[in-house]
Structures are given as structure tokens and as C-alpha cells.
Chains A and B, each alone.
Chain A
Amino acid sequence: MIGFEGPDQLSRLAVGGVGVLLALAVLGFPGARRPSGCRFIYAGCLLVCAALAAIALLALLRGGASAGAPGVQLPIGLPLGRTLLGLDPLSAAFVLIVNLSAALVSAYAIGHGLHAEEPQRVLPYYPAFIAAMNLVLLAQDAFSFLVGWELMSLTSWALVISEHRSPENRRAANVYLVMATGGAFALLLAFGLLAGSTGQYAFEAMRRATGHGLGPAVLLLALVGAGSKAGLVPLHAWLPLAHPAAPSHVSALMSGAMTKVAIYGFIRLVFDLAGPPAWWWSLPVLVIAAATALLGVLHALMEHDLKRLLAYHTVENIGIIFIGLGLALAFHASDLPLAAALALTAAIFHVFNHSLFKSLLFMGAGSVLGASGERDMERLGGLIHRMPVTAVAFLAGCVAISALPPFNGFVSEWLTFQAILLSPQLPHWVPRLVVPAVGATLACSAALAAACFVKAFGMTFLGRPRSATAATARETDGCSLTSMLLLALLCLLAGLMPGFVIDALSPVTHLLVGARLAPQAAQPWLRIAPVDAARGAYDGALVFGMILVGAGVMAFMVRRVAARALRRSAAWDCGFPDASPATQYSATSFAQPIRRVFGSVIFRAREHITMARPGDTGASRLQLELHDTVWEALYAPLIRWVAYGAERLNRLQFLTIRKYLTIVFVALIVLLIIVAAYR
């Protein structure tokens, strides 16, 4: 009997957790029949995920399993090998991130999941989805990685189509299925290349086999395979369709957790398995990442469906994370390990942050949807009065995702900026030319994100209700509120005490780029100084304290002098208040200036205005034309070609037997000739 210590024991426990989740998935079929069954399944997921997160945290704090530790071997798998599962620091970090948000999403689902129209279409797949994500993260060989990956795609597809009555959702699920298949195919090829002709599918063997020169191909395939799942431009097309189509707690899980698994796949392939990087590898990553960040946030700004807005923001955040990864790759290739560790820490920190606030925001959107039946911001408003607690939690998420201090989003962005400021050390001039432009894009997308979340919060929660359902919305249930508030608190805590997160990530950077940042716990107070204190430091708690003390001192002084009197009255509005809520600024009008400045090229935005002639009492019309340029330039022609080809090939189904035999015979001859020529 092995004792209760050692990383192997932890790996074993983690694998056991995955087993329990799969068992819960089976129980989901009978459990869906009654609400208590639903609650049982979600509560089970909550417990297992919390346990998995605790296990991963323990493994991470112990520095993870040492390289080459056996982990867990299951006697199933390919004929050539067995399934290897284990928790190395990278896996542990992502298991922690994914299960933390999965646990809180499950807690939310105990309340919110009861709203599902057809629980039997959600309940069995939900635990299986979490189990599949964990399987990907625990896999130490390509076979189990890909099995987990495909299981993750399929279960999430089943969840996307769970509300299958709307044609929009069916289309989303179709697009998602095609894109997921393509992505998995790219990953299959990448692992195939790395495994070589001998078929060494264990990661350990791939790591040892260096010098194959296949790195660039693996990078490209990882960008396509993992990038399509994460939502890199131009492979993001499915994401804003599929994430909002699922029930809200599943949307939270897909945006908050599944995209992180994709990022894990990219890091595993490129940083761990592909061999030493060349200096130019970072360039495609950085350029695509910057384009992703900017395009994601601009799309989000144009959107007035709350859940689609959040989904487009996931695209933006994936861009920010990949900017960090690209920088890490550049530093790593140029043998600047400390800078690489900084950039990698920034990226994984942002992965952590995004999993927190995006889960929170999707939960908030789900609560709004449950309370008012509306996702369209043009029909919401004033919910801060009707749903005060949800409003507070959602506001915290908005501040965090807009990268504003003292919340956590700012810390990872600050770390990324610090990494950018180290990039003049890069020996090659091309990345030095590209990195400032990437930095400007990052700054621009952060500022636009703030604009977007002013819009999201302002239109949903502030102002006056724009529809009857918004005016009668009711606050959501206690379970949902508790988990949202917990997430909001975590966002704040991670912003106030970022040093703990950075320290916890140090085994990961040590594993991947061979360096650790200086321990931040040694810094005075809660300060972080990633490179050294003279280069720049940040103390979130101090900044938070200063804001609070400043506001408090001012409030105190004003109260000493001021008249306390406060009178409620009709809005002033320059003397012309209008009772109709339609006179408020709407989400579309809020975005109008930004659309005019950025959108005329990127979205080919056009406004068609038909003014009523003087004396005519008819209505004037404003028609807005927006194009999804990526879809129209890339996907629409592709779909046309495929349809055209399918149409042509259709004829093959109606031939006579003689013609079929001829075709087979000709094909045989041609193949034989090719084989003969190739020899």
C-alpha cells in the first residue's frame, strides 16, 4: 500500500475523481426525471470538482510530480501502449483553474439548472463534459489526450444542441461540430508527427525525441487545432454561435473552462513537446493574437445580445492570453528565461482570471435571462433595482474583465505590459518591431473592453427598463447568488493578492522555460515585483486601500460640511425629460461612435437613412448594415465550394453497375502506377 503522500497518490486521486464524474454522467439519465435528481447530480459535480481543485492545488504547491514519474497507468488504450495519466505542474495548474470554475458553475447550476426545458438533454452530458476536460488535462500520452479532446467536443456539442428547438441553435451546433472535427484532425496530425514512425505516443517519449525538425509543422497544427477550440481569429467563427446557444451554466463552463483546455493543449504541444523553438515562431502567434484581441472586442461592441457579447469577449481574452504566450515563446527562443517566465506567468495568470470573471459574467447573464427571459440588451435596463445582488456581482465581473484596478484582470495585463517592456532585449529586430505594435493593440483592446462593459452593464442594469419583462424581473435564487458573489470575491482577492498566484505558477514556468520568477511572498506587504523592485512593482491591496480611504475621507469631509438633505425628483435631462424609456441611449446607439471610427473598414458598416420629407408625418428609417468580414471572406466561399463539389459528386450515386466497375478498375490501375512510380 502506497502512503498518502507523493504526487502519484495525487494523480491517482485525480483519476478517481474523473471516474466519479463519469459515474455521475451515467446517473444523469435517471436523475433528470425529477428536480431532486438534478440537484443531486450538480451537487455531486460541485463536490468532485472542488476535490479535484484541491488535489491540483496540493500538487502545484508541492511542485508537481517530478519529470518521469509514472503517474497512473490504465491497462486500456492502443495495442502498443497503455493509457498514462498524471499531474505534472502544467496539468496541475490547469486542473485547478478548470475545476475551480467548474465547481462554482455547478454550485450555480444547483439553482439555475432547474430552469432547463429538457433536463435529460443536459444532465448526463454535463458531468461527462467536465470529466472529459479533466481527462485532457491529466493525459500524459497522445492517445488519451485525443480521446479526452474528442469526448470534450462531443459532450459540449450535445450541450450546445440541448435547446434544439431554435434553428439558430441547430446551426450553431452544426458549425461547432464541423470546426471541432477539423481542429481535432489538426491535433491528430500534430501528435502523429511527434510520435514519429515508431509510434511513441507517450509524452515522455516525444519530449526525448528532439532534433526531428518538425517544430514549425507542430506549431502550425497546434495553432489550427488548439486555436480553433480556443477561438483564435479566423477560426473563432463557431465560438460566438455555440457558447451562447447552450444553457447559461454550460456557456459559463465552455467559455470559462473549455477554452482553457484548448490553451493547455497549445502550451503542451508548443512549449513542452515540439522541441526548442526558433526565434520566428513567436511572430505568427503574436500577430494572430493581436488580431484576435482587437477583432474580438470590436465584434463584442457591435453586439447587443448579452451572451453573444460575452462570447466575443472570450475571443478577445484568448487573444490577450496568446499575446502572453507569443512573448514567452520569443523570449524562450532567445534564451531569456526570466523574461519568458514572466510572459508565461502573465498568460497563465490571465487564463486563471478569465476563467473566474467569464464564468461570473455568463452566470450573471444567465440570471438575467432567467429573470426576464431576455438576452437582448435593447429590451433590458434598470435591473439594478430589481436584481441588486446580481448587479453587484456582475459589476465586479465587468470591472475585472475591463482590466481595471484593483481587480484581477488588471494584474495579468500589467504583467503582460511588463513583459512587453522587456522585449527590447530580444536579439532579433523583427520581433522588436512587432512587439510594440502588439502592445498598442493590447492597450487599445483593453480600453475598448472597458467601453464594451460600460455598455453591457449600463444597458442591462442601469437606466430605465426597456420592456415589460425587464420591469417585472425578480432576483434569482440563493445558490446562484452565492456562487456569483464567491466568484466576484475571488476576482477581487486575486487582484489584491496576486503574489500567491504568481508563486503558485512558478513550478509551471520552471518546467516549461526553465526559470522561476523571484518568490513574491518575500516582497513587503502584498506587493508584486516580477523582475525586480526597481523595474516596477504593483500592490493591489494598497491601491484598493488608497481608493477606499480617499473616497471615505472625502465622504466624511463632505458630510461634516454639507447639508444632508437629499431630494428625489424627476430626471433633469436639460429640462426636457421624456417619460418614454425608448428615448434612452440604446446599446446600438452607445456603440455608434465606435462603429463609425473602427467599423467602417472592419465591418463595412453602412447606415442607410431615409428621412421623412418635410410635411410628411410618416416615420423616418435608420437601417444599419454590418458585415462579418471574416465569415464572408473565408467561410462563405468555402461553404459554396463544398456545396458545389457535393452537388457535382452527387451524380456518382446514380451510375450503372458497369460504370462503377470501370471506375474501380481505373482507380486500381492509377494507384498501381503511382506506387510503381514512387518506388
Chain B
Amino acid sequence: MRPGWLTQLLQAALVLALAPLLSGVTRRIRARLLRRRGSPLLQPYRDLLKLIRKEAVVADNASWLFRVAPYLILGATWAAAALVPTFATGLPFSAAADIIVIVALLGTARFLLALAGLDVGTSFGGIGASREMLFASLAEPAMLMAVFTLSVFAGSTELSSISAYMQTAGVGINISLALALVALIIVSIAENGRIPVDNPATHLELTMVHEAMVLEYSGRHLAVIELAAAVKLLLYLSLIACVFTPWGTAIAGAGVLHYAIGLAAYVLKLALLALLLTLFETAIAKMRVFRVPEFLGIALMLGLLGTILLFVSRVPR
């Protein structure tokens, strides 16, 4: 087997294996910041295992879609996460599915999740689905605008090329890139239901979005959905790390040592980003639902501004 394929397989396994740990780390940091002791780092794995072993309770009128959706959601999210270069660039699949595809794959997952929320026919499922789609209708274009900026810079929509380009010396500090970064961060917070937008820890609150959609899930289905949510968080952090802090990432065909360094650097970057995310989360209060579109509107406008500046000012490659 060629090394590229090995990297790809390793990467796919890595994102799935690391995702619960990442949510464990964020929970732990958050607990420490709130002067609680917090649960062990490996608690999410135990939770998942416990859920998987439990009997699944499904509502009477749930259709086949309700039972199939979790696996497809995870499939789409996992595929998207496997396409983001984490510790090494030059993934063979990455060449055939660019960053627009990644955004769209997350869209597919979201579409299925919203449908699953509507399937049982309860008001909570509906409220969650409706709000999720509202947020997405602003977050997705904002993300695409950031993607446009990056792609015009690198002359490619392919993430490996973008990452490799960002490693070159000629990039420097650029206003469009900064705007794209801010837009991407806002989108990441919103899409993962982190605090100013949604609270992953709450339940039974009328402002909840993600939790309302998955309210009817239990047992193994819930476990798969929770895992998909963890993979999604990992994906967004990896994306930011891959594009804006590409240092240390092993280049395709480098030696084993480079891969080891890349792996260490990736874990370090993730930990740092998790720390920053949690710091931001604990420092800010949850906002009302109808403030969120304004928050996301800022991201969209910043992204658009960055793209327009770039399109007008730059003769691209």
C-alpha cells in the first residue's frame, strides 16, 4: 500500500478516535475555569460506550429515516473530517474533494439531522430543526465567503494546496485573511452549538437548538449522533489549524519522523484551540436566539468584505 493511502486511512481513524477526547478536554477545561473538578478526560468514551450498550427506545411513529439518519449523519461528517489534512498534507482523497465539498457534506449532515428532528412530530424537534436551518442559512454563506478568500489566495479550492500555500513565506499578514479567520471562528462557534449561540450542556431550555433536534434519540442512535457532533467540532478546529497554523504539518512523502512531528504538532494545536474556545465560552453569556442571526450576519459581512477586497485589489495566480 502506498504511503498516501496509509495516511488517509490513519487520518480517518484518527479523527474518529480523537473526537470524543477533544470534547472531554473542552469539558474538563471548562469545569476547571468554573472552579469545578470536572469529569475525567476519557468520560465521553465511557458515555458513548454506555449509550451503545443500552436498549434504544424509538417513538411509535418514527420512520426508517429516524433510524438510518444517525449513521448517515456520521458518515457524512466523518467523510468531511477525513478530508481535512490534520497531521500530513497530500491525502489522496483530498485531491478529489475540495473545501467546498467539505462545507456541502456538513450541509448534508445537517439536512438529515433536521429531518430526523421533524420525524417524530413533536414540537421540540420542530423548533430545533427550524432554528438550526436558520443559523445554517447565514453560517454556510459566511463559511463559503471565507473559503473564497482562501481559495483565491492559494489559487485552488483544494485544502492540501491551501495549507501548503499558507506555509510559504510570501503570505504575510493580510486583511482579507484576518477577516476570513474571524468569519470562520464565528461560524465554527455557531455550527457546533457552542455557548453564545447554543449551550451543549443544557437541556429543557427553550433556546436550545441541537439538543431539541436529538431529543427523541436514545441508546445507540444517540451515541452515534453525539459522536458525529464531536467529529464536527474536531473538523472545524482542524480546519482552522490546517489553514491558519500550518506549521509542523508533514508534507506528502516526508519521512516517518516528519509524520510523528506532524502528529504531535496537530495534537498540540488542537489542545491550544480547545483552550481558546473554552476560554471564550466561559467569558461570554448565551445570547437570545434572535441575536444569533446578527452575530452570524457579522460573520457573513466580514467574509464578504474580505472576498470583495481580495477580488478588487488582487490579480490572482
Contact = CB atoms under 8 A, between A and B. Distances in A.
Contact of B121 (A455, A463, A565): A463
Contacts of B75: 546-552, 554
7 contacts: A454-B114, A535-B155, A536-B156, A567-B58, A573-B123, A574-B124, A594-B137
A593 B141 contact: no
A440 B141 contact: yes
B107 interface: yes
A579 to B, nearest CB: 11
Contact of A577 (B118, B122, B223): B122
Nearest to B149: A436
A437 B227 CA distance: 36
Given A569-B60, A593-B130, 20 more contacts: A384-B119, A414-B101, A424-B310, A440-B307, A443-B141, A462-B121, A527-B96, A536-B98, A536-B151, A536-B158, A537-B97, A538-B101, A539-B97, A543-B105, A562-B53, A562-B219, A570-B59, A581-B121, A593-B131, A594-B134
Interface of B: 49, 52-61, 63-65, 71-72, 74-76, 78-79, 82, 93, 95-98, 100-101, 104-105, 107-108, 110-111, 114-115, 118-127, 129-131, 133-134, 136-141, 144-145, 148, 151-152, 155-158, 161, 204, 215-216, 218-220, 223-224, 227, 289-290, 293, 300, 303-304, 307-308, 310-312, 314-316
A561 B129 contact: no
A574 B204 contact: yes
A467 to B, nearest CB: 13
Contacts of A418: 157
Interface stretch (A86-94, A185-193, A403-411): A403-411
B137 A448 contact: yes
A395 B98 CA distance: 25
Given A418-B157, A535-B157, A561 B114 contact: no
Interface stretch (A12-20, A72-80, A427-435, A661-669): A427-435
A385 B60 CA distance: 12
Contacts of A381: 121
A583 interface: yes
B239 to A, nearest CB: 16
Interface in A566-585: 566-574, 577, 581, 583-585
Contacts of B139: 447
B316 A424 contact: yes
A447 B140 contact: yes
Which 9 pairs of residues, A with B, have the shortest CB-CB distance? A585-B126, A463-B121, A551-B75, A536-B157, A458-B118, A451-B133, A550-B75, A443-B141, A539-B96
Contacts of B152: 421, 424
A404 B100 CA distance: 11
Contacts of B289: 593
A278 interface: no
Contacts of A533: 95
Contacts of B82: 546, 550
B129 A454 contact: yes
Given A405-B101, A440-B141, A569-B57, A384 B79 contact: no
Contact of B141 (A432, A444, A542, A581): A444
Interface of A is mostly: helix
Interface residues of A, number: 90
Given A463-B121, A539-B97, A554-B75, A432 B148 contact: no
Contacts, number: 294
Contact of B136 (A399, A450, A536): A450
A384 B65 contact: yes
A573 B127 contact: no
Interface in A523-557: 525, 527, 533-539, 542-543, 546-552, 554-555
Contacts of A551: 71-72, 74-75
Given A458-B115, A593-B130, A414 B107 contact: no
A495 B303 CA distance: 29
B101 A447 contact: no
Contact of A572 (B74, B144, B215, B290): B215
Given A538-B101, A550-B74, A584-B123, A561 B49 contact: yes
A464 interface: yes
B100 A414 contact: yes
Contacts of A558: 52, 220, 223-224
Contacts of B223: 558
A446 interface: yes
A436 B304 contact: yes
B121 A450 contact: no
Contact of A585 (B71, B130, B157): B130
B121, B129, B151, B152 — which one has the most chain A CB atoms within 10 A of its CB? B121
B42 to A, nearest CB: 17
A40 interface: no
A136 B157 CA distance: 40
A414, A421, A433, A552 — which one has the most chain B CB atoms within 10 A of its CB? A421
B136 A421 contact: no
Given A451-B134, A536-B158, A593-B134, A573 B122 contact: yes
